[in-house]
Amino acid sequence: KRLHFTQLHGHRAWQRAVDAARVPVSMEDSDGNGEYKLEILVYENLDVHMERFYVDLAAGAYRSGLVSTDGAKLGSNYEITARVIANKEIGMNFAILRKTN
């Protein structure tokens, strides 16, 4: 809720979405002709780094006594995010894609 995302994809769902993607070659070609697919050249799961980041943020927020705009302790919000990442409910990836015919 804090980041206002309406939909999040896990790693497998994200990769399936890329595999299924058909993108027009140009904006003028929106009728479906001349589409290309996306090929994943590099894919890295960054969940461990993301979790560590939020653990560190939580510690700093608690030390500083920071409070979120809704009145909750910011450190608590960050701890919850770290736990959600550890439970594989959300994650972060890095990908390099190439268009193919």
Beta bridge partners of 67: 73
Across residues 80-88, what is the average pLDDT? 93
Q: What per-residue confidence (pLDDT) applies to 81?
A: 93
pTM (two decimals)? 0.71
Please determine, for residue 5, whether its predicted confidence score (pLDDT) is greater than 80.
Answer: no
**Over the range 34-56, which residues count as b (16 or more CB within 10 Å of their CB) and which as e?**
eeeebeeeeeeeebeebbebbbe
pLDDT in tens, 18-71: 888 877 666 554 445 567 788 889 999 999 999 999 999 999 999 999 999 999
